[in-house]
């Protein structure tokens, strides 16, 4: 058998196969360009359209996946990670079998977002996850039937996670929304401008929903058993449960774009890739779409992805035609951010002995007084574990206001054989 090549090339690479990436691929496919879509999940769809045992994908997700799969000039590489960008217009990739170099002419970053996990006493107990993490685990086949689950945090994701858990047979005993009731009411009053969202909110309504409430701590021996929730002015609730899922928001995945030299900008308390009106970044021939440009939901991601796809293959008029509908979903994203912004007290839930960096067992007390992220890494190893600061970096930004530093390759743990692909490519060329 002939071994696969150590390097390949294509006209357009799209990193990420969520709504934005799939929309970008579909929009660009008609141009006839050779397109490669890279995604580290086992199937296209990203986090919001994650597939798995027993998952019934939304019709829109199925249609878009099928449309992209039908394009002969589009190749989707699932289960594939971007490890590094070793040279101009080059990506080093790795899947379960091999590592190889991919050369591109144009690149669209649709790298999505990850959950913001804020440390609090007990957050490292088994059974404590993110709200999106709970959804992913259930969609992946984790049984939760008969379990009592508390979901806490902020924003519409809490209701979506509760619906997923309920459909899987769990009992959601509390949904604790940190935003005040007045903020939730003001948000609901404006949902009529987005009828589909209003209908969705009504369908996801839950009797266990409480606003003005947030997690204080989780207790248990070998796993979470009870959760303390702050409610109202001074009231504390003690709720027995088998699982706690906390959704404090999302953090744009900017690492690859930042590594490529793309400008980042502060947006809603996090850093996002800066783009112009045509989805172009500050680096020539590099575009970005979806949550990596700021948190805004699947509708916004679909439109941004289509715009980026058209723009990347020179279809400027088709891209410009999408600006007006995109502006409508930009307004919705701003509405969510405004009414569900984290209260200062929710950002500061740690005790001195609360671990902030789980990989290196660094408590909050060891970080107090440090000059910044680099100083903390040098003295405590915070951010130097397996996640490379993806979790604790975002947490320390909320806790101490530290600014993350430019990422360095490799972007994730990598096999020696993959690094050897660089030498193999150099030998071929």
Are 130 and 72 part of one and the same domain? no
What HEC string does the chain produce?
CCCCCCEEEEEEEEECCCHHHHHHHHHHHCCCCCEEEECCCCCCCCCCCCCCCCCCCCHHHHHHHHHHHCCCCEEEECCCEEEECCCCCEEEEECCCCEEEEEEEEEEECCCEEECCCCCCCCCCCCEEEHHHHHHHHHCCCCCCCCEEEEEECCCHHHHHHHHHHHCCCEEEEEEECCCHHHHHHHHHCHHHCHHHHHHHHHHCCCCEEECEEEEEEECCCCCCEEEEEECCCEEEEEECCEEEEECCEEECCHHHHHCCCCEEEECCEEEECCCCCCECCCCCEEECHHHHCCCCHHHHHHHHHHHHHHHCCCHHHHHCCHHHHHHHHHHHHHHHHHCCCCHHHHCCCCCCCEEECCCCEEHHHCCCCCCHHHHHHHHCCCCCCCCCCCHHHHHHHHHCCCCCCCCCCCCCCCHHHHHHHHHHHHHC
| 389 Cβ contact list (under 8 Å, min separation 6) | 373, 377, 382, 383, 404
Are 149 and 243 part of one and the same domain? yes
Show which of 188, 213, 248 is a domain's final residue: 248
Show which of 227, 248, 269 is a domain's final residue: 248
Give 250's strand partners: 115
Are 152 and 134 part of one and the same domain? yes
The confidence score (pLDDT) of residue 429 equals 63
Residue 416 domain-assigned (yes or no): no
Are 370 and 320 part of one and the same domain? no
The confidence score (pLDDT) of residue 242 equals 98
Are 169 and 231 part of one and the same domain? yes
Residue 321 domain-assigned (yes or no): yes
The confidence score (pLDDT) of residue 3 equals 53
* β 213-219/209-211 pair status: unpaired
Q: Could you tell me the residue range of the domain that residue 280 belongs to? A: 7-114+251-337
Residue 77 domain-assigned (yes or no): yes
Are 237 and 156 part of one and the same domain? yes
Look up residue 236 and give its two tokens.
Answer: 């504390």
Residue 420 domain-assigned (yes or no): no
Are 243 and 121 part of one and the same domain? yes
Are 244 and 328 part of one and the same domain? no
Show which of 315, 337, 359 is a domain's final residue: 337
Look up residue 204 and give its two tokens.
Answer: 């996801």
Cβ atoms of residues 366 and 340 within 8 Å: no
Are 19 and 87 part of one and the same domain? yes
Residue 225 domain-assigned (yes or no): yes
Residue 409 domain-assigned (yes or no): no
Are 243 and 255 part of one and the same domain? no
Residue 209 domain-assigned (yes or no): yes
pTM: 0.94
- Show pLDDT as tens, one digit a residue, over the chain (429 residues): 445 667 899 999 999 999 999 999 999 999 999 999 999 999 999 988 988 776 888 899 999 999 999 999 999 999 999 999 999 999 999 999 999 999 999 999 999 999 999 999 999 999 999 999 999 999 999 999 999 999 999 999 999 999 999 999 999 999 999 999 999 999 999 999 999 999 999 999 999 999 999 999 999 999 999 999 998 777 999 999 999 999 999 999 999 999 999 999 988 878 999 999 999 999 999 999 999 999 999 999 999 999 999 999 999 999 999 999 999 999 999 999 999 999 999 999 999 999 999 999 999 999 999 999 999 999 999 999 888 898 999 999 999 999 888 888 999 889 998 888 677 666 666
Residue 408 domain-assigned (yes or no): no
Are 225 and 288 part of one and the same domain? no
Cβ atoms of residues 38 and 14 within 8 Å: yes
Question: How many domains, in total, are found in the chain?
Answer: 3
Are 101 and 130 part of one and the same domain? no
Report the CATH number that the domain containing residue 56 is assigned in CATH.
3.50.50.60
The confidence score (pLDDT) of residue 6 equals 77
The confidence score (pLDDT) of residue 269 equals 79
């Amino acid at each position: 058998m002939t071994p696969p090549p150590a390097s390949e090339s294509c006209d357009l690479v799209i990193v990420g196969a969520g709504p934005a990436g799939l929309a970008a691929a579909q929009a660009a496919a008609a141009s006839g360009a050779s397109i490669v879509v890279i995604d580290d999940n086992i199937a296209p769809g990203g986090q919001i359209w994650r597939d798995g045992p027993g998952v019934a994908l939304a019709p829109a997700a199925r249609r878009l996946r099928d449309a992209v799969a039908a394009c002969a000039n589009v190749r989707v590489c699932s289960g594939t990670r971007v490890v590094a960008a070793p040279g101009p217009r080059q990506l080093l990739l790795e899947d379960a079998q091999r590592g190889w170099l991919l050369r591109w002419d144009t690149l669209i970053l649709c790298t999505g977002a990850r959950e913001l996990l804020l440390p609090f006493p007990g957050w490292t107990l088994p059974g404590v996850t993110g709200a999106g993490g709970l959804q992913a685990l259930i969609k992946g086949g984790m049984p939760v039937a008969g379990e009592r689950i508390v979901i806490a945090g902020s924003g519409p994701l809490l209701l979506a996670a509760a619906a997923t858990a309920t459909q899987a047979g769990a009992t959601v005993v509390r949904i604790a929304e940190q935003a005040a009731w007045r903020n939730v009411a003001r948000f609901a009053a404006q949902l009529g401008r987005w009828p589909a969202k209003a209908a969705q909110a009504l369908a996801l309504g839950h009797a266990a929903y409480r606003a003005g409430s947030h997690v204080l701590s989780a207790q248990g021996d070998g796993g979470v058993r009870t959760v303390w929730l702050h409610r109202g002015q001074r009231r504390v609730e003690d709720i027995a449960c088998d699982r706690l899922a906390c959704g404090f928001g999302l953090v744009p995945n900017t690492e690859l774009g930042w590594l490529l030299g793309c400008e980042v900008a502060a947006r809603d308390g996090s850093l996002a890739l800066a783009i112009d009106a045509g989805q172009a970044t500050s680096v020539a021939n590099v575009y970005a779409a979806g949550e990596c440009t700021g948190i805004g939901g699947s509708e916004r991601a679909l439109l941004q992805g289509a715009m980026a796809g058209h723009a990347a293959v020179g279809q400027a008029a088709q891209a410009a035609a999408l600006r007006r509908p995109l502006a409508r979903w930009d307004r919705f994203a701003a509405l969510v951010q405004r009414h569900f912004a984290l209260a200062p007290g929710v950002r500061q839930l740690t005790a001195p002995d609360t671990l902030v960096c789980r990989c290196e067992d660094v408590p909050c007390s060891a970080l107090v007084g440090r000059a910044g992220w680099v100083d903390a890494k040098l003295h405590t190893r915070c951010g130097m574990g397996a996640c490379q600061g993806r979790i604790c970096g975002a947490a320390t930004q909320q806790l101490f206001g530290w600014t993350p530093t430019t990422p360095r390759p490799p972007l994730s743990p990598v096999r020696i054989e993959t690094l050897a692909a660089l030498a193999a490519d150099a030998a071929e060329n």
